[in-house]
Amino acid sequence: MSLAEKLKKVQLKQTETKDSSKPDITAKEYDENEIKIYQNKVLDINIEEWLDLIPEFTFKTKLFPLKYEDAELFFQAYELKMKENKELTENIKNQIEKLAENLQKVINEIKQDDPQVFVKSSSRSAKDTGPYQQKFIMEYQAKLKAKKLRDDNDKMISLLEAGYEMLKVKSAKELLMNWVFSERIYQDMFIAIKHKSRFKENFVIRKWVDMDPDMEFRGFVSNGKLTALSQYNHLCFWPRLVQMKSYLEKIIVDYFYSNIQKKLESNFKNYIIDFCVVGEKLDQIWVIELNPFLSTTDGCLFSWENEKSLIENGPFEFRINSKIRSGGKSLMQTSWREIFEKYSNIDNEEDEKKK
């Protein structure tokens, strides 16, 4: 099947797993005009559209061009590997290796100043590829061993922590081979390819900033006003979020209105913005990324279906989990839940070793 035929088969869908980032794009049929509007809104919020407006308030970033044929390459590689369950052709492997060589040169330049980097596409990262890496399982078990309770909540937190570690780029070749497994990258490349006249994609190489998974937050901005704020990793419970809620609300809201709102308002009225709070004293804030203000973008602890009016109009509300969520495991992405169920019996494994 040709690339053009494959593109015709791919449409817009809600995937069966939760993804707290930009929307999903494959399968269920929608009106062609609706799809076009939706896809353009996704492109409107890519990093190239907002980075120069707030460069001092987001991570140090360098853009390395991702060409149209590169986007086609990753789209085709995912189709072959993940949909057709076939091995990559030698031609595809060679193209990825050549691209990796060029990308590695840029990464090496940046690493002279910043020893750790993170690389994403213009839209999203390939953070969904963790479960496909053996080292992810080892990292997960190491994180879980350090936990006291090792209950379901600790297990989900350990998965998140291991996933964050996987985002640190060791080599461009390893990174790009992981992109082959990423549905997120596949979806983003699909939109980019479909809109050739707007094609402006990059490898986004960013300075790595250490952050804890409980210190990531999603804000909802409607008509320039911050109407809602939620913890980003909303399946987990962290006691310190309860203790710090008032403080976190104040510093994030103040940060948005003091530094971000006016710089973005000429170009963006409605958007979803992700923040992180970092530093030894948890007193420094960074903008991670912007996302389209669409009901297909995860509402975290807010429901687009039941609370659309609140998200669009306020009054402002900040939500965190005040206790462990029941049934959180059932809401996990399937590939992550499989790791959870298969590799979480640390105590049993240690007991077996002692026998």
pLDDT band at residue 11 using 50, 70 and 90 as cut-offs = low
151-163 mean pLDDT: 96
Instruction: Collapse the DSSP code of 116 into the 3-class scheme (helix H, G, I; strand E, B; otherwise coil) and give the result.
Output: coil
268-278 mean pLDDT: 98
Residue 271 has pLDDT above 50, yes or no: yes
Residue 227 has pLDDT above 60, yes or no: yes
236-241 mean pLDDT: 98
Residue with tokens 């960013």: 206
**Of 314 and 130, the one with more pLDDT:** 314
Residue 14 has pLDDT above 50, yes or no: no
pLDDT score for 167: 95
Helix segments in the chain, DSSP class H: 3-9, 32-44, 47-50, 68-78, 90-111, 134-145, 152-166, 172-179, 183-194, 239-255, 261-264, 304-313, 334-342, 346-354
Pair type for strands 317-319 and 225-231: parallel
123-143 mean pLDDT: 94
User: In this structure, are residues 275 and 286 in contact, taking their beta carbons and an 8 Å threshold?
Assistant: yes
User: What whole-number distance in Å separates Cα of residue 291 and Cα of residue 337?
Assistant: 26
User: In this structure, are residues 213 and 235 in contact, taking their beta carbons and an 8 Å threshold?
Assistant: no
pLDDT band at residue 349 using 50, 70 and 90 as cut-offs = low
pLDDT band at residue 355 using 50, 70 and 90 as cut-offs = very low
pLDDT score for 215: 99
pLDDT score for 19: 53
User: In this structure, are residues 81 and 181 in contact, taking their beta carbons and an 8 Å threshold?
Assistant: yes
% of the chain at pLDDT higher than 70: 89
Residue 17 has pLDDT above 50, yes or no: no
The three-point CA angle 115-210-60 to 5° equals: 60
pLDDT score for 346: 74
| Token code pair at residue 311 | 């998200």
Reported pTM = 0.90
User: What whole-number distance in Å separates Cα of residue 141 and Cα of residue 343?
Assistant: 7
60-64 mean pLDDT: 97
**Of 24 and 178, the one with more pLDDT:** 178
Which strands sit side by side in the sheet containing 117-120, from one edge to the other? 61-66, 201-207, 117-120
pLDDT score for 33: 86
324-329 mean pLDDT: 90
pLDDT band at residue 46 using 50, 70 and 90 as cut-offs = very high
pLDDT score for 22: 52
pLDDT, averaged across the chain: 91
| Token code pair at residue 318 | 């900040």
User: What whole-number distance in Å separates Cα of residue 353 and Cα of residue 42?
Assistant: 51
Identify any residues that bridge with 276 across adjacent strands, giving them in sequence order.
Answer: 216, 286
Q: Of 189, 183, 216, nearest to 201 (Cα)?
A: 189
User: What whole-number distance in Å separates Cα of residue 71 and Cα of residue 189?
Assistant: 5
Phi first, then psi, for residue 227 (nearest 5°) are: -95, -25
pLDDT band at residue 174 using 50, 70 and 90 as cut-offs = very high
Number of residues that this document lists for the chain: 355
Residue 186 has pLDDT above 70, yes or no: yes
User: What whole-number distance in Å separates Cα of residue 118 and Cα of residue 98?
Assistant: 20
pLDDT score for 27: 39
pLDDT score for 345: 85
Residue with tokens 């407006």: 53
Phi first, then psi, for residue 258 (nearest 5°) are: -80, -35
User: In this structure, are residues 292 and 21 in contact, taking their beta carbons and an 8 Å threshold?
Assistant: no
User: What whole-number distance in Å separates Cα of residue 144 and Cα of residue 345?
Assistant: 10
Residue 327 has pLDDT above 80, yes or no: yes
